Amino acid sequence: MNRVILMGRLTRDPEVRYSQGEHAMAVASYTLAVDRRVRRNQDDTEQSANFIHCVAFDKAGEFAEKYFRQGMRVLISGRIQTGSYTNKDGNKVYTTDIIVDEQEFADSKNTSSDNSRSEPSNVVRDSFMDISDVVPDPDLPFN
């Protein structure tokens, strides 16, 4: 099974091209910065990110062009596609892309990557527990 689900922030606005021919379709390319924790030792972790190239076709490409902007946190699902080409220097370059099947906003409408804006006091944010902070139950068989 080739299935991937990612959540990250857009590194820039999507780049959109339209295919040629009778049935032209939108092809949107964008990069997600997906957080990754690097554990140095038992007490020390450091944040890092993977930069994942994503491609959305047709209606999904049009949606990305219309609504996605740099800094937004989005959730995508799709499949991994690898490929290669020879660059102008004659070197073989390998590529890995996520072909997007589904994409959606991961933040509420009132949430912005610009923290200088104040939110109304009635906005309720989703809160997720950081699972790495949970102390495991010693009675669980899969510790």
Which residue segments constitute the domains of the chain, with CATH numbers given?
Answer: 4-109 (2.40.50.140)
Whether 16 contacts 66, CB under 8 Å? no
Kindly tell me the sign of the dihedral angle through the C-alpha atoms of 71, 74, 56, 35.
Answer: positive
Q: Which residues contact 126 (CB under 8 A, 6 or more apart)?
A: 108
| Percent of the chain predicted with pLDDT > 70 | 76
Of 139, 20, 128, 18, nearest to 75 by C-alpha is 128
- Whole-number average pLDDT of the chain: 82
Q: Mapping DSSP to helix (H, G, I), strand (E, B) and coil, where does residue 91 land?
A: coil
pLDDT digit string (tens) for 23-33?
889 999 999 99
> pLDDT higher for 38 or 58?
58
> pLDDT higher for 58 or 124?
58
Q: Which of 1-5, 6-10, 131-135 has the lowest mean pLDDT?
A: 131-135
- What's the pLDDT at 85? 95
pLDDT digit string (tens) for 121-142?
444 444 444 555 555 556 655 5
